[in-house]
Amino acid sequence: MRGIIFAILASLVWGLAPVFFKMGLKSGVGNLLALTVHNLSAFLLAFVLYMLIDGSSRIVLKEITFLAIGGILSGFLGLFLFFEAIKHGKVSVVSPIASTSPLWSVLFAFLILGEELNLQKLLGAMLIVSGIVLLTLSRQ
């Protein structure tokens, strides 16, 4: 249950963030500067909290490498593409399309991690796609 509560909170935070991104990108701020500010502020907060709360954790190079790859994919490349999308589109249309990441996560977890792919997951993925289609068509 705790995982679900945190997932809902993450979803709420991620649902609010694009509104601030759109406001920050309005004046013509470039994607690379936006990414720098985003990632630097996230890094500084995470570093301070790490030092205050969990500064004694051991560092394992293999896991750090995987985390770095994930950071490059989501924190840099994904956000760069998302910033470009919200610069040129409406947040109410672009954000739901970009939020299809759970669909891809289910697929990649199956292919790379060997996680189970059952009927409920397939139906959930189809519901995600259906919702995105409805949201996208609603702009017309």
Pull the structure tokens for residue 104: 């891809």
pLDDT at 58: 77
Per-residue confidence (pLDDT) for residue 96, from 0 to 100: 82
Grouping H, G, I as helix, E, B as strand and the rest as coil, residue 139 is coil
Provide, rounded to the nearest whole percent, the portion of the chain with pLDDT above 70: 99
pLDDT at 93: 82
Cβ neighbour number for residue 28 with a 10 Å cutoff: 6
- Residues 16-55: tens digit of each pLDDT: 898 899 999 988 899 999 999 999 999 999 999 988 988 7
Q: Which residue has better confidence, 130 or 135?
A: 130
The whole-number pLDDT of residue 131 equals 83
Contact 96, 89 (CB under 8 A): no
129: left (phi over 0), alpha (psi -120 to 50) or beta: alpha
Q: Residue 140's pLDDT band (boundaries 50, 70, 90)? A: low
Quick one: pLDDT at residue 84?
93
Half-sphere exposure of 138 (CA within 13 A, CB side): 12
Angle at 81 between CA 76 and CA 83, to 5 degrees: 90
